[in-house]
Structure 1
Amino acid sequence: MKPNPFTLILAVVAITSVCVTGCNAPAQKADATTEQVAVKPDMAAIKTEIQAIETEWASATTAKDIDKVMALYADDAIEMADDEPMCVGKAAIRQVLLKSMKARKAGTTVNYETTDVYGDDNVVTEVGKTTIKDAAGKVVSTGKYVGIFEKRDGKFICIRDINNEDQKDN
């Protein structure tokens, strides 16, 4: 039986189509690429670290140890204290804090409580509450604050601080 020329042409076209399609198919990568998985920071550990800073801060504030308090601020920090203009840099912050320490009655204690932290291993925003008690242990003032800490030289340091007192009963 003699082959039909039409069948032969059809077979050549089919084989050519398979070859062309196969050659144009996207190449499969031989090695699987590894996806970059973002490691979530341990926010509980960071909160503990920030609370330790705040505990140190409260102790220094209670003791009116301005040098220890200032060591917790970055040189380029900004402080926005209640009823004060914005302070930029340690020298300006120092003056406002000295004024506040001088105005506080002897025997009062300061406590800072970290309630939340947000961020990552390098920059953390903290939300907290302030409680000030007199020498007898009676709460004389409460307030709230937001601090932003940046890790510099392996430790968190305050770069932004805003705080204010709660409304007092009249």
Structure 2
Amino acid sequence: MKTKPFTTVLIAFAALMLVVTGCNAPAQKQETATEQVAAKPDMAAIKTEMQAIETEWANAATAKDIDKLMSFYADEAVEMNDDEPMLVGKAAIRQAMLKSWEARKAGTTVYYETMDVYGDGNVVTEVGKTTIKDAAGNVVSTGKYMGIFEKRNGKFFCIRDINNEDQKDK
């Protein structure tokens, strides 16, 4: 069967128009899963949680309860104390803490105050101040600290700690 040239041209033109129209049509938006936006952490709640940790920490330091104190540190923690080499790991931190407690006068009380916290809720940097009082309640030392805590299995552990006194004993 013979096809008339006009019909062939018409069919070719119609096919060309379909291709051109299809290529220039706006893309249809595909429905995709809703993007998950990470919720901002409640820093006020984290600050309260950090203060609770610091209160327990201070109580352990005051009572010289080394096991309780060490429970706040991650195994690989690094401690950077005033005028001392860096301490790496719980064993080194434990030894330094026991040594510092020997030099501390009986009846002193340790206080830590969380001033501010920064982070994403899993890793938190805490900035605070330290106050140590003698048995009569007189301030004998003040200082500041910065700690980095990491949440593991729902609990914060100190992974880095740096602290120093405001003024050295004379």
**TM-score interval, normalised by the smaller of the two chains:** 0.7 to 0.9
Q: How many residues align?
A: 159
Residue type of the partner of 1:72? F
Structure 2's unaligned 5+ residue stretches are 1-8
Deviation at 1:161, TM superposition (A): 0.5
Q: Distance in 2 between matches of 1:19 and 1:50?
A: 66
Number of the residue aligned with 1:35? 35
Q: Which residue of 2 aligns with 1:101?
A: 101
Task: State the Cα distance separating 1:163 from its structure 2 match.
Answer: 0.3
State the match for 2:162 in structure 1. 162
TM-fit CA distance, 1:85: 0.8
Displacement of 1:43: 0.8
Residues 1:22 and 2:3 aligned together: no
- Contact 2:141–2:167, Cα closer than 8 Å, also in 1: no
Q: Which runs of 5+ in 1 are unaligned?
A: 1-8
Q: Deviations over 1:129-150 (max 9, x none)?
A: 0000111111111000010101
One-letter code of the match for 1:87? L
CA–CA distance in structure 2, aligned partners of residues 145 and 169 of structure 1? 18
Q: Distance in 2 between matches of 1:129 and 1:35?
A: 41
- Please name the residue that 1:149 is paired with: 149
Q: Deviations over 1:14-64 (max 9, x none)?
A: x88864453113421242652331210111111111111100000000111
Q: Which residue of 2 aligns with 1:5?
A: none
Task: Kindly state the Cα deviation for residue 122 of structure 1 after the two structures are TM-superposed.
Answer: 1.1
Calculate the TM-score normalised by the size of structure 2: 0.85
Contact 2:129 2:143 in 1 (8 A): yes
Task: Specify whether residues 169 and 63 from structure 1 end up closer, same or farther in structure 2 by C-alpha distance, changes over 3 A only.
Answer: closer
Kindly provide the amino acid, as one letter, of the partner of residue 85 in structure 1: P
Aligned partners of 2:169, 2:161: CA distance in 1, in Å? 25
Residues 43/18 of structure 1: CA separation in 2 closer, same or farther (3 Å cut):
farther
- Residues 143-164 of structure 1 deviation map (CA, whole Å, 9 limit, x = unaligned): 0001010111220011110000
Q: Within 5 Å, which residues of 2 pair with 1:4-153? A: 19-24=18-23, 25-31=25-31, 33-153=33-153
